[in-house]
Amino acid sequence: MKRILAIVVLGIVCAMPAAAQSGGAPQQPQRQDEFVPISQLPPQDQLPAAPLLISAYIVVLLALFAYLVSVSRRLGAVQREVERLEGDLKRSGRA
């Protein structure tokens, strides 16, 4: 019995590569030896517009916001410097 079972298992193991080759498993894509140009992309490959549109508007708003934050921080620093210098000037009695 054990000998029969061993022969069956060995037969299955030997037959597996042949079964895989005959189409049971997905085939690997064929190697491309040349590039063939086409004038238009097929519809399934065409780039969707929405991400580009949304990205453009996000870029605009982020750039403007970042610039506003940058200017306001610089203004804050200068404002504090002016207050400090005016205080020094008052204390020195030259204001």
Partner 1 sequence: MWGFTWTKLHMPKWFTPAAIVCGLMFAASPLLIANADYEATMGLVQKIFYYHMPSASMFLISGIVCGIASAFYLFGGNPRYDRVAWSAAELAVLFGIITLITGPLWARKAWGTWWLWDVRLTASLMGWMISVAYLLVRRYGGAGSDKLAAGLALFGMANVPFIYISVNYWRTIHPPTSVVPTLPASMGVPLWFCFAAFLLLFIILLTLRLHLEDQRARVDALHLALED
List Cβ neighbours of 95 (8 Å cut-off, separation of 6 or more): 86, 89
Taking the C-alpha atoms of residue 12 and residue 75, their distance in angstroms, rounded to an integer, is 80
Q: How far is the CB of 42 from partner 1 (least distance, A)?
A: 14
Instruction: Establish if 90 lies at the interface with partner 1 (CB under 8 A).
Output: no
Is residue 69 close enough to count as binding partner 1 by CB under 8 A? yes
Which residue type is seen at 17? P
- At 48, is the secondary structure helix, strand, or coil? coil
Tokens 């620093």 locate to: 77
Q: Does 82 bind partner 1 (CB under 8 A)?
A: yes
Minimal distance in Å, beta carbon 89 to partner 1?
6
Binding site for partner 1 (CB under 8 A): 47, 49-50, 52-53, 55-57, 59-60, 63-64, 67-69, 71-79, 81-82, 85-86, 88-89, 92, 94
